[in-house]
Structures are given as structure tokens and as C-alpha cells.
């Protein structure tokens, strides 16, 4: 474990690059504050305490951490982010973050191009929740009072965001694959009350994709807005080892009205980096406002003029730009290959889970999230055993996650008598690091031993 941290080249690269950046400001009179000779020692002591405190963490960077949606930032992102910290730009206005605002515009242009958009309105946000909030805020402006609907597998924040915006929200049942149930969706659309359908391309719990292609066909008939929440799944657009249904869902993503994708999930970025894109740039009109303090040095667009948040980390844009320079968003390129490895790892572990008579799997994973539980006569027993496997796996340094999943995901009649709509405790694993592919055997042997002890 220690080795994997030691090998990180980010610090060395930073040491090389930083003096060059400082050189650019060398003409300024020195402003160094040398009045406190204890400062370095004091900082060293605080960092020593911090080392102890931070050690109380799961090893998110290591392939044996195969639980929640956590992926280490690429070393170039770490180095670029830290470099920007010497300037600490604010991408609200060009006055606060001139260079980093331009880097943001370029990086976002590349993300929009990944989805097939040359014309769009978009920017980075602090994360997926805020990006979705902006999408639903615009949706509400365009169809005041109309309902927002999403599948029961959609991210939980959509319901809360709708409440914050004062928009009615309705949850639609999912089918056995964890995708929005099209018949239930159409029935809701027939009410005439629906303003926006949230289409999740890559659900948080199981990685399923709602059938965007079919929902676009429904849009022809019923007329509504489509917001695609691809916060987790969006970058799989670049990957080709996907099932035909998954490919079909991604193929028409450019026909959506808005898209959210999170660079801080699959885009190798530190937290604090989401992205919202709108197909119609004229929605920028809804953002129109003046700022009495900030928009003074340029008539060029200040990103704060098209964003609901005021201060935003210029460092986030800097890290994203650098990462995309190194690993361009090219279909089947090096970056895409990293995601393809995770999916391959998920398929391999899935095959083993399926053959294991102690365990119960749902449909084949669409992306890189695996969900399974333990076979038992009752829902309660399956849920209890899943938690036991989770705990025993952790004792062997294999860190999985737990999720409550609607029982329909495992097919009908698995737990006789369990009320429909019940949820079962499942083990969940997001195999989102490219290295996971080489760790399939190590993960499986720990998991299998944990199952043997628990069941």
C-alpha cells in the first residue's frame, strides 16, 4: 500500500513545474513574510497530526478498495490542482481567474464534443448535485409548475432538488434490469402534467442505463424536456465494450436537452468537479444578472454570468484541462481504455458470482457496478448475510459497499411473500479503477472466503 503512494509522480512533477510558475511573477517586490521563524516547525507538527488523522480512512486509492464510487485523481490532476493553489484562482469572473476561466472553457468544450455538441452552454460546478440543480432549475423556468419525473433508481437528490426548486416530483417504477419502466413512464406522460423526464445513464446503485433511445421516441408523441443524468456513466460514451442496449442508449445522447457528467467520478479529478451542459445556448438568458463587484475587466463572458454558483475553484478547471491534455476524450483512446478495463473486471467477477450457488445476482452489469446478495429463504436473512459478508471481506482488506436495491432487480418470486416494492440489502462493488482488471483473482478469493465464513 505504502508503495502505491510512494510511486506517485505528482510531487516530483510539481517540484519541477512550480519554480517556473513562480518565475513568471519574479519581477514583483518580495512579499515573503519571514517574521515567524516557528512557522515551518508549527506546520510540520500539524502535518504530523494530520497524517495520523488521515490514516483513519479506507484505502480508496488501492484496488482492494472496491466499494463506493471513489476513484483516485490522476497524478497530473493532483499536480495541476496543487500548482493552481499557489495562485488560487476563482472562476466566477475573469478578474479572479483569468487563465483558469479560459482553461475551463476549453475543457468543457471537449466534454461537450464527447457528447456530439459543438454549440451548447456549459460550465463546471462543485459536483453532480449542483449540476443537476441547474438543469432542473432551467427545466422549471421553461415549464413552470410541471412535474419532474425519474425512475426509482435515479439519484436520490433529484427529489430533494425538485423540492428546493418548488417543482412537483414523481418517481416511476423500474423494470427488472433497473431501467425506468417504459409502460409506467408512458402512463405518467398521458396525464399531460410532465414537464421533464430525468434519464439516468448509469444509475448509482446498479449502473443501469434508462433506454434514452425509446424515451426520445416518446418525446415525439408527448413533448417534454429530457435531462440526462450521466454524472457517473457519461464517460462510457467513449467505450466500445458495451452491450448493444447500452450503446443504443448512449448513441442519441446528443438529442437530450441537458446533460450532467461528473469529472470527479470517472474523469480522474479531485472532488469539486461536476459539469452541466445545455443543448440550447439561449437558456443562458435565464442566468442573466449583474454583479456590482466583479465583472469589470472584460466584456468577454465571465463564467459567473452563466452559473448559479458564485465562487468556483479555478484549480478544478486547471486539473481537468491538464488531465484532458494528457488523456484526450477520444473514443477507445487511452482514457477510454481505463474505463473499458473496469467494465471487463466487473464482467469477470459477475461470471464468478453467477456460478456461485451461495450468491444471487441480477442482470449482467451494464457498466462497472456489480450488485449481488446472498441466497436465503427470506428477505431479512439475505439482507443479514449480505452485511456479514461485507464485514468479513473488510477483515481481509477487501472493501465493498452495501446498497438497498428493489427486489424486482433479482426477478420475480425470489423471496416468496415479500411485498413488491421491498428492498433487499445487497453487496455492491464499483470496479472503476483500470487496475481492478488485474485484481479480479485477488478480489474473488477474498470475497469467496468471506462468503464461506458468513454463510
User: Judged by CB, which is closer to ligand PLP: 227, or 302?
Assistant: 227
User: Judged by CB, which is closer to ligand PLP: 128, or 408?
Assistant: 128
Q: Minimum CB separation from ligand PLP for residue 339, in Å?
A: 15
Stretch binding ligand PLP (CB under 6 A), from 224-232, 289-297, 322-330, 403-411: 224-232
Stretch binding ligand PLP (CB under 6 A), from 33-41, 127-135, 304-312, 433-441: 127-135
User: Judged by CB, which is closer to ligand PLP: 155, or 179?
Assistant: 155
- Name the residue number minimizing CB distance to ligand PLP: 128
Q: Is 234 in the site for ligand PLP (CB under 6 A)?
A: no
Stretch binding ligand PLP (CB under 6 A), from 105-113, 159-167, 227-235, 300-308: 227-235
User: Judged by CB, which is closer to ligand PLP: 271, or 293?
Assistant: 271
Among positions 142-171, residues that touch ligand PLP (CB under 6 A) are: 155, 157
Stretch binding ligand PLP (CB under 6 A), from 125-133, 159-167, 190-198, 293-301: 125-133
Q: Is 128 in the site for ligand PLP (CB under 6 A)?
A: yes
Q: Is 262 in the site for ligand PLP (CB under 6 A)?
A: yes
Among positions 175-204, residues that touch ligand PLP (CB under 6 A) are: 200, 204
Q: What is the rounded CA–CA span in Å between residue 349 and residue 277?
A: 34
User: Judged by CB, which is closer to ligand PLP: 127, or 406?
Assistant: 127
Instruction: Using CB under 6 A, pick the residue from 69, 208, 275, 349 that binds ligand PLP.
Output: 69
Q: Is 274 in the site for ligand PLP (CB under 6 A)?
A: yes
Q: What is the rounded CA–CA span in Å between residue 123 and residue 355?
A: 45
Q: Which residues bind ligand PLP (CB under 6 A)?
A: 69, 127-129, 132, 155, 157, 200, 204, 229, 231-232, 262, 274
Amino acid at each position: 500500500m505504502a508503495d502505491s503512494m510512494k510511486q506517485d509522480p505528482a510531487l516530483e512533477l510539481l517540484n519541477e513545474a512550480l519554480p517556473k510558475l513562480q518565475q513568471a511573477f519574479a519581477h514583483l517586490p518580495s512579499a515573503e513574510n519571514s517574521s515567524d521563524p516557528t512557522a515551518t516547525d508549527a506546520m510540520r507538527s500539524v502535518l504530523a497530526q494530520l497524517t495520523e488523522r488521515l490514516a483513519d480512512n479506507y484505502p480508496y486509492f488501492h484496488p482492494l478498495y472496491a466499494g463506493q464510487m471513489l476513484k483516485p485523481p490522476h497524478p497530473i490532476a493532483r499536480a495541476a490542482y496543487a500548482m493552481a493553489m499557489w495562485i488560487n484562482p476563482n472562476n466566477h469572473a475573469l478578474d479572479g481567474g483569468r487563465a483558469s476561466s479560459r482553461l475551463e472553457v476549453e475543457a468543457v468544450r471537449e466534454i461537450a464534443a464527447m457528447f456530439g455538441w459543438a454549440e451548447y452552454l456549459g460550465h463546471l460546478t462543485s459536483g453532480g448535485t449542483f449540476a443537476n440543480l441547474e438543469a432542473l432549475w432551467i427545466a422549471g423556468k421553461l415549464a413552470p409548475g410541471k412535474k419532474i419525473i425519474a425512475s426509482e433508481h435515479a439519484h436520490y437528490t433529484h427529489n430533494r432538488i425538485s423540492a428546493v426548486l418548488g417543482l412537483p416530483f414523481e418517481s416511476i417504477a423500474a423494470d427488472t434490469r433497473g431501467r425506468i419502466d417504459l409502460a409506467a413512464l408512458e402512463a405518467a406522460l398521458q396525464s399531460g402534467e410532465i414537464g421533464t423526464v430525468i434519464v439516468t445513464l448509469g444509475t448509482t446503485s446498479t449502473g443501469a442505463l434508462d433506454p434514452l433511445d425509446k424515451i426520445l421516441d416518446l418525446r415525439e408523441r408527448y413533448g417534454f424536456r429530457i435531462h440526462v443524468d450521466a454524472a457517473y456513466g457519461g464517460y462510457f460514451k467513449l467505450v466500445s465494450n458495451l452491450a448493444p442496449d447500452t450503446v443504443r442508449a448512449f448513441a442519441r445522447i446528443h438529442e437530450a436537452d441537458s446533460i450532467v457528467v461528473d469529472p470527479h467520478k470517472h474523469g480522474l479529478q479531485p472532488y469539486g468537479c461536476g459539469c452541466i451542459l445545455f443543448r440550447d445556448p439561449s437558456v443562458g438568458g435565464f442566468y442573466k444578472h449583474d454583479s456590482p463587484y466583479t465583472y469589470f475587466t472584460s466584456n468577454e463572458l465571465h463564467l459567473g454570468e452563466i452559473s448559479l454558483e458564485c465562487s468556483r475553484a479555478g484549480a478544478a478547471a486547471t486539473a481537468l484541462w491538464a488531465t484532458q491534455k494528457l488523456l484526450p476524450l477520444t473514443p477507445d483512446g487511452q482514457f477510454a481504455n481505463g474505463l473499458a478495463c473496469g467494465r471487463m473486471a466487473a464482467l469477470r467477477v459477475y461470471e464468478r458470482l453467477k456460478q456461485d450457488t451461495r450468491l444471487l445476482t441480477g442482470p449482467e452489469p451494464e457498466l462497472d457496478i456489480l450488485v449481488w446478495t446472498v441466497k436465503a429463504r427470506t428477505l431479512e436473512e439475505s439482507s443479514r448475510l449480505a452485511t456479514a459478508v461485507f464485514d468479513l471481506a473488510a477483515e481481509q482488506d477487501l472493501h465493498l459497499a452495501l446498497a438497498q436495491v428493489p427486489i424486482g432487480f433479482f426477478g420475480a418470486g425470489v423471496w416468496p411473500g415479500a411485498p413488491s416494492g421491498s428492498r433487499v440489502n445487497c453487496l455492491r462493488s464499483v470496479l472503476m479503477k483500470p487496475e481492478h482488471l488485474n485484481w479480479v483473482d485477488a478480489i474473488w478469493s477474498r470475497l469467496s472466503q468471506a462468503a464461506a465464513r458468513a454463510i
